[in-house]
Each structure stands twice: as structure tokens, then as C-alpha cells.
Amino acid sequence: MKIAPEEQEFLDRNQLPASYLKAANQWFTPLVNILVDNCKPEGPPRVIGINGCQGSGKSTLADYLCTVVAGQLNITTVSLSLDDFYLTKAERIHLSSTVHPLLETRGVPGTHDVQLAINCIQSLVEGKKSIITRFDKSIDDRAPANSLKTTEGKIGLIVLEGWCLGAKPESADKLLQPVNSLEENDDRDGIWRNYVNQAIQNDYQALFNLADELIMLQAPSFDSVFNWRLEQEQKMKKRLKKEGIDDRSGVMTEQQILRFISFFQRVTENILSEMPSRADHLFKLGQSREITEYSQPSAR
């Protein structure tokens, strides 16, 4: 299989073997064709949302779609991650002291700067000069301003990925019972999980509604998250070593990962339960993250 230069750059960026392209061509071609048909150079940019739990391949898919669509249409594409719009460490520390201690940990709804994300997308849609905010997980804080990229001009496709993208709030009665030891021991009064649920219901829906279509990478269950997240941390550790960065304090150990993913369990399990029936594009994943089935539920 002949690999185009932009495809090789994509593989290198994501530390992927060439075999990824074979699987991508098999499963993502229908989706790519839809995007190519809908992304008109003379029209407004298409905004696509990707949902999937930690380690499911959201950022890789976002990069792939942007790379392929840009190559086929000769348009500018932008890939964004909801993770890049986390509140700063200082802002989360303030939240932890004024609302609940668990909010110091990045991840759940309520720990993002939703308005910043909305402003960024709207600025890109309008073709204005836009700063692409990035979050450096190795230091658990926003990347320095002097390291950020800016873009300006006509954008053809914007892809926003996030583990909770498109989430819906739970009913109040479902919040009463803790789903794991974290909630049972650290959120006995339910303040944290109610705050998270309220954030989903309010601020986040305006952001989610900016997406023209929703793609879901459906994990077999929440149990898959640990292994996938561990692989993510190992990749980040290799990347930092390659870049000569000695400070890897933000890279988590296995025990830290086990606790960290507990923060995501409630929302993830609700997503896995209710989102598949309404996603525009649903990719079911196996235990090794391989795609086993593709459908378009919302078109039924």
C-alpha cells in the first residue's frame, strides 16, 4: 500500500504502524466520504464531535479525519481536544476549596473552561485569528502561551474530541447511590457528583450543540478504560523522553490511574448506556480497541 507523505506524518505523530491505515481505510471510508461531500470550500466549516472513553482512539481518529479530508479537498482543518480547555491548576485548586476537594482533579465536567472552548470554535468558524489553547498533562496545567499555535483564515473542518463530549445529565435519583469507592468515601454527601451533573446539564450543552454530527467510539464496558489509559501514559512518557523533557511528574503510575479513572466512571457508564442509540456515527470497539461494527443510529 502506497503511503502519502501526509499519511506518513500522521503515523509518525501518533506513533502508529502502517497497518493502522489499512484498518482506517476499511472502517472510516464511509465517514470520510460523508465529510468530503459536506465540507464545501465555499461554505461554513463543518464541526464534528467525537466521543469515546479514555484511550479509545479519539485524538487519533480526529487527526486522521483532519489529515485525510484536508488532503482530498485541499482545505484547512483543525483538530481540537476538550482536554485542552481544562481550567488551570490554580483555578481547580480554587474550586476544590470553595466547592469540593475532588474538583482539583482535572477531567470531569465542571473542570473545563467551557466558554473558552466555545469562543475558540466560534472564532475558527468565523475565520478570525485564533489561539489554539493546549493543556500539558505532564505538568497538569495549561501549556505556556509562547508555545501555542495560532491560525487565521478559512477553515473547512473542525473536529472536537472529548471523553464526555455529547454527554447527557442523569436524573437526580440516580445520583443518590455511589458507583465506586471514590464516591462512597470522598463524596459521601454527593456534592461533587451533583456539581458535575449540573455542569453537564447547563454549560456543556451549549458547547456540545456546536457539533453538526456526533461520532461515538463505543468501548465494550468501563472495565476497558484502565488498560487503554495505561497505554496512553506510557506513550506520553516515551514522547517526553524523546523530547528531552525531564519533568514527568504529571505522568501517572498504575495506582494513580486506577484512582483517576474512578472520577470518570459514572458519566462514562451513563454515556455507554444512552448515547449509542442517538450517535450519528457509531463505531463499536473490541477489548483491544479494534473496531467490530459501524452504524449510523440517528439515520434509522
Over the stretch 179-203, which tens digit does the pLDDT of each residue have? 999 999 999 999 999 999 999 999 9
Residue 250 is predicted with a pLDDT of 61
| CATH code at 30-285 | 3.40.50.300
**What contacts 24+ positions apart, CB below 8 Å, involve 5-12?**
6/67, 6/70, 6/71, 7/67, 7/68, 7/71, 9/67, 10/63, 10/64, 10/67
Task: Report pLDDT digits (tens) over 237-264.
Answer: 777 777 777 655 567 788 888 888 999 9
Q: Within 13 Å of residue 85, how many CA atoms lie on the same side as its CB?
A: 26
Which pLDDT value is given to residue 247? 54
Q: Is 192 in a helix, a strand, or coil?
A: helix
User: Per-residue pLDDT for 267 more than 60?
Assistant: yes
Q: What would the mean pLDDT of 48-77 be, rounded to a whole number? A: 94
Q: What is the pLDDT of residue 249?
A: 54
pLDDT of residue 52: 97
Who wins on pLDDT, 69 or 232? 69
Residue ranges covered by each domain of the chain = 30-285
pLDDT of residue 37: 93
CA distances from 226 to 95, 223, 262 (A): 27, 7, 10
Q: Which pLDDT does position 86 carry in this prediction?
A: 97
Average per-residue pLDDT for the chain: 92
* pLDDT at 292 exceeding the cut of 60: yes
The one-letter code for the residue type at 261 is I
Query: What is the pLDDT, as a whole number, of residue 118?
Result: 97
With a cut of 70, say whether residue 59 has pLDDT above it: yes
Around Cβ 253, how many Cβ atoms within 10 Å?
Answer: 10
Q: Judging by beta carbons within 10 Å of its beta carbon (0-12, 13-18, 19+), is residue 290 exposed, middle or buried? A: exposed
Q: 60-64, 134-138, 240-244: which has the minimum mean pLDDT?
A: 240-244
For 14, the grid coordinates are 501518533
Percentage of the chain modeled with pLDDT above 90 = 78
Which residues lie across from 81 on neighbouring strands?
A: 161
User: Do the bridges between strand 281-285 and strand 213-218 make them parallel or antiparallel, or are there none, so unpaired?
Assistant: parallel
- Model confidence at 78: pLDDT above 90: yes
- What are the two backbone dihedrals, phi and then psi, of residue 37, each rounded to the nearest 5 degrees? -70, -35
Within 8 A by CB and 6+ apart from 80, the residues are: 62, 117, 120, 121, 132, 158, 159, 160, 161
pLDDT at residue number 183: 97
> d(Cα 193, Cα 297) in Å, to the nearest integer?
29
**Res 4: pLDDT:** 86
C-alpha cell at 130: 485564533
